[in-house]
Amino acid sequence: MFRGFERERIATDAAADPFGVAILTGPMPAPPKDAVSQLATVVSSRPCGSDAVVLRLAPERPFEPLRASRFFMLRREDGTAPLIPRPYSVYRQGGGASSSTGEAPWVEFLIKVMGRGSRALEAAPIGSQLRLIGPLGNGWPVLDGDGAPWVMLAGGVGSAPFPMAIEQALRGMDGGAAVASRDLHFLFGARDRGLLYDLELFERLGVNVHTATVDGSHGMQGHVLQLLDALQAAGSIPKQIRVLACGPDPMLEAVHARAIEEEWDCWLSLETLMGCGVGICNGCPVPTREGGALAGWPNAKCCVEGPVFAARDIELVGH
């Protein structure tokens, strides 16, 4: 488990810790060793779905291949408010040594336009510069082809950490066996068809893609877990599975409860609000689960121990 820094819990009683948050001592948290703060140029911006864009950025200094579900803190560099950077999962990475056309290195981010911060990023002119801090966090575990099939559950913009995860799984990660396309299922749920971001991209990746929308405008009508139930009932997906999930809190809470009940090997990439992204502000606590790998602490930090957590290690209800 990636830690980033060591810390010691020194107060546990209610008098010393009235808000239920342990007092921590030790060195200040440090970002991952490969994290840097640099400028990146906006190369392109394309509409995606009904309310999002995909920003392609060319960093001043290229990154080594990134593990899917790591994230960066992004902000405009021209003084446009808000000045506090926002966390975004890496959507895709390319160019550089991996390019057969000599294309310059780039990274992409899926930006759902919701508030001032995302609107400022969406409006960044081509050729302008953004501040890019990262890569941060731990990313998905190694997806290997030895064992039960992998099921990826995405809700809306929670699809962002999955294109690279699928590509890495099909290639083989860290020397592990590649996952056969027949053993990789991508289940994409959203409120309506316009929120199934870049659906055609996932279909081109050559894995099993299944969709559900609440209004029935694409795929099965219902939620992503109902889609999984239907596919398992039809025999398209076996009962024994390994699960990755990312999406809104209600979806992740439901997936977490099912994972505990059915004892899935399950990892969740949380969409938790973050202030700093490097563990200093304590603004992204995630309650730990008794008996889990993080149980020595009352809360983990999503930006340091996460954003990916094994379901067995955390509590999600009302977090």
- Do 129 and 191 share a domain, yes or no? no
Structural domain contains residue 213: yes
CA 223 to chain centre: 19
Structural domain contains residue 168: yes
- Do 82 and 230 share a domain, yes or no? no
Structural domain contains residue 285: yes
* pLDDT, tens digit, 9 for 90 and up, residues 165-215: 999 999 998 878 999 999 999 999 999 999 999 999 999 999 999 999 999
Nearest to 63 by CA among 27, 35, 41: 35
- Considering only residues 257 and 81, tell me which one the structure prediction assigns the higher pLDDT: 257
What's the whole-number mean pLDDT along residues 155-161?
Answer: 98
Report d(CA 210, CA 149) in Å as an integer.
15
- Residue 121, exposed/middle/buried by CB under 10 A (0-12, 13-18, 19+)? buried
- Do 189 and 294 share a domain, yes or no? yes
99 token code pair: 């390019």
Domain assignment of residue 296, given as a range? 150-313
Structural domain contains residue 142: no
pLDDT of 22 over the 50 cut: no
Structural domain contains residue 179: yes
Structural domain contains residue 144: no
Look at residue 268 and give its three-state secondary structure: strand
Structural domain contains residue 3: no
- Do 120 and 176 share a domain, yes or no? no
- Do 59 and 189 share a domain, yes or no? no
316 token code pair: 């999600």
CATH of the domain at 49: 2.40.30.10
DSSP 102: -
- Do 183 and 296 share a domain, yes or no? yes
Look at residue 119 and give its three-state secondary structure: helix
The amino acid at 221: Q
Report d(CA 228, CA 198) in Å as an integer.
21
Per DSSP, helices labelled H in 153-239 are 162-171, 199-204, 224-233
Task: State whether the Cα torsion 302-305-311-317 is positive or negative.
Answer: negative
Report d(CA 301, CA 24) in Å as an integer.
12
- Do 263 and 192 share a domain, yes or no? yes
Structural domain contains residue 13: no
- Do 105 and 234 share a domain, yes or no? no
Report d(CA 277, CA 287) in Å as an integer.
17
Domain boundary among 136, 169, 204: 136
- Do 104 and 195 share a domain, yes or no? no
- Do 175 and 305 share a domain, yes or no? yes
pLDDT value, residue 254? 97
Look at residue 159 and give its three-state secondary structure: helix
* pLDDT, tens digit, 9 for 90 and up, residues 221-265: 999 999 999 999 999 999 999 999 999 999 999 999 999 999 999
